[in-house]
Structure 1
Amino acid sequence: MIPPAGAPLVLRGREVGRDDDGVVRPVVMAIVNRTTDSFYAPARLADDGPALAAAHAAWSDGAAILDVGGVRAGVGPEVDEAAEIDRVVPFVAEVRRQVPDLLLSVDTWRAGVARAAIEAGADLINDTWAGHDPELVEVAGAAGVGVVCSHTGGARPRTDPYRVTYDGGPLGPGDPGDPGDPVEQALDDPRDGVTRDVVATLRRGAARAVAAGVPPSSVLVDPTHDFGKNTWHSLHLLRRTEVLAGLGHPLLMALSRKDFVGETLDLPPDERLPGTLAATALAAWHGARVFRAHDVAATRHVLEMVAAVRDEAPPRAARRGLA
């Protein structure tokens, strides 16, 4: 049985990923980090020239969205709000000018950075630290742009997890304790404490975003692998992709070269592409909608192959046995 496709994504009135034949398929969100210390060296694009070249390459390789970050997610030197704005906002404005059809996302937890980025042309705010700044979602709602609601298990920005545990609990808005809730029914594994916490957090975050004015189809939900989680947690959330895709909002998966892939295979970041693509295929099969990726072309090829197996797209050049 093929799992149902996930919810569609609309940013600033533009539906993302719908083909001319009307089928909605997963899309790639490329990554440009305006930093010198990102965990994956090729993504360190602090200089304007290489960063702009990467934006053009992402568009050529088939990315629909470009996610721009100005601060390393993990522990590192302090980057204040002014410095983050300086790294990100002029670049967003220039990409908007040079590649007008490429949707732009900004990876930040700060409302001030989000406001400046939206004014420069950002279509989406990727709040990877789960509402640490409560004003951020209000900024997105007032501007009518999209927002990513994430899960960190309560971790503060730029901190690493340490012996974190999840016991589970109520699933939050959308689950008033009704045993007929399909999400409740699906969570029957003893390891689902982390899934329950993720579901509850994402439901609360999405409800708050919609209440703040963000259109429901512009609210993405992200289980946020590695953030506030160990490798066992992240692997289990990948198993639970279909549950997360059923929350009613487009599901973002940020899997690319992450530590849970590296620790599963005992490989450094520059050798994690095959593991990343395996995880990508599984998540796409089970309904994830957007994939944040360092390797755009390879990720797009995986998504196209999954779409063909799901019978959502024909082969591009089927000739074998026909000619």
Structure 2
Amino acid sequence: MQSSETGVAMYLPPLRVPVRTIGARTFDFSRRVAVMAVVNRTPDSFFDQGRTFALDAAVAASFDAVAAGADWVDIGGAPFAPGAPIPPDEEAGRVVPVVAELRAGSDVVISVDTFHASVASRAIAAGATVINDTTGLSDPDLARVVADSDATLVLTHSLAAPRTFYARPAYDDIAREVADLLLERVDRAAAAGVPEERIILDPGHDLNKNTLQSLELTRRLSEIADLGYPTLAAVSNKDFIGETLDAPRSERRDGSIAAAVVAIVNGARIIRMHDVAGSVAAARMTEAILGLREPAYLKHNMGDVND
């Protein structure tokens, strides 16, 4: 714990490289939380059930997210959930055109959610600046593809092979075990040539974890942030929120924002969210409460007359 300028105790993650330049944008993650919007170009996506599957819908959603204040847009062409494999050419055909159109019209950070090295290579060539691998380097060539570019790599904790079911996940100490696996993946990425200033870690809420485990991981997120890499919290509309609140996917907005705020307080510096405008407001407010940013303006009780 550290103290802010106001003397309020707070947790600040010990970042190895706090200032990151990702594409055209620079973030000081010691003082800033980035909001990552989600755009899934799949017919069976977890949350929107194909609403942005059409190319024009995916492109429009991406630009809408930028207009709503997103720092980052994460584009996916294959769901994490168990199911039939999506051929890499088909996945690239879904995501690459969205990347190209968004890059042509914005300097926003663009990540592509993929575990295939070939998809990552084509996405980077089209303008993606981050590869978000939710399988923790299941494709041994993916880290090399990132290393040979200027892109950043998100390493995520998960246990199952891609698109397969993992029954009854069990952990003796979930935060320690998640941290240990992530550090092993960091070593693997570093061996392939990815420098530490281009690595981000994601503990993988709900990915091969039940609701109690995801709740505990959120409470103990500082133990992941303590590893020194910017921590991404992908909590939006996850099942651990639905099961906690007995809420269908369409009614998890408020719980998602609450989980994101707790994650920020515990060291997350990137939050992956569906409701961009609400999440941006929550992130900026949390930054101010933690003493990381100033209010937009000061007027209330600041003068000699009552405002």
Aligned letter for 1:229?
K
**1:267-282 equivalences in 2 (<5 Å):** 267-282=247-262
Aligned to 2:156: 150
When residues 238 and 143 of structure 1 are mapped into structure 2, their CA distance, relative to the original with a 3 A threshold, is: same
CA contact (8 A) 1:150 1:202 kept: yes
When residues 42 and 163 of structure 1 are mapped into structure 2, their CA distance, relative to the original with a 3 A threshold, is: closer
Aligned to 2:184: 204
1:15 Cα offset (Å): 5.6
- Counterpart Cα distance in 2 of 1:32 and 1:13: 19
- Counterpart Cα distance in 2 of 1:47 and 1:117: 18
CA contact (8 A) 2:24 2:109 kept: no
Residue aligned with 1:289, SS: strand
- Counterpart Cα distance in 1 of 2:223 and 2:139: 27
The alignment status of 1:165 with 2:170, answered yes or no, reads yes
- Counterpart Cα distance in 2 of 1:46 and 1:151: 27
Unaligned runs of 5+ in 2: 1-8
The alignment status of 1:30 with 2:10, answered yes or no, reads no
- Counterpart Cα distance in 1 of 2:64 and 2:58: 10
Residue aligned with 2:268, SS: coil
**1:110-125 equivalences in 2 (<5 Å):** 110-125=116-131
CA RMSD of aligned residues (A): 1.8
1:81 Cα offset (Å): 1.0
When residues 45 and 9 of structure 1 are mapped into structure 2, their CA distance, relative to the original with a 3 A threshold, is: farther
Task: Show CA shifts across 1:122-151 (max 9, x none).
Answer: 111000011111111111011131101111
**Percentage of identical aligned residues:** 40
User: Which of 285, 294, 302 is the aligned partner of 2:274?
Assistant: 294
Aligned to 2:12: 4
The alignment status of 1:129 with 2:139, answered yes or no, reads no
- Counterpart Cα distance in 1 of 2:93 and 2:23: 28
- Structure-2-length-normalised TM-score: 0.90
Task: Show CA shifts across 1:247-281 (max 9, x none).
Answer: 11110110000001111111111101111111111
1:163 Cα offset (Å): 1.1
Residue aligned with 1:270, SS: helix
CA contact (8 A) 2:211 2:243 kept: yes
- Counterpart Cα distance in 1 of 2:22 and 2:256: 30
The alignment status of 1:244 with 2:224, answered yes or no, reads yes
1:318 Cα offset (Å): 3.0
Aligned to 1:319: 299
Aligned to 1:254: 234
CA contact (8 A) 2:68 2:276 kept: yes
- Counterpart Cα distance in 1 of 2:26 and 2:265: 18
CA contact (8 A) 2:13 2:222 kept: no
Task: Show CA shifts across 1:87-112 (max 9, x none).
Answer: 0112211111122x111100001111
1:43 Cα offset (Å): 6.6
1:82 Cα offset (Å): 1.1
- Counterpart Cα distance in 2 of 1:5 and 1:248: 7
CA contact (8 A) 1:9 1:15 kept: no
Aligned letter for 1:302?
A
- Counterpart Cα distance in 1 of 2:50 and 2:194: 30
CA contact (8 A) 2:19 2:28 kept: no
- Counterpart Cα distance in 2 of 1:211 and 1:9: 23
- Counterpart Cα distance in 1 of 2:144 and 2:213: 30
Residue aligned with 2:32, SS: coil
- Counterpart Cα distance in 1 of 2:164 and 2:280: 31
- Counterpart Cα distance in 2 of 1:223 and 1:149: 8
Unaligned runs of 5+ in 1: 168-192
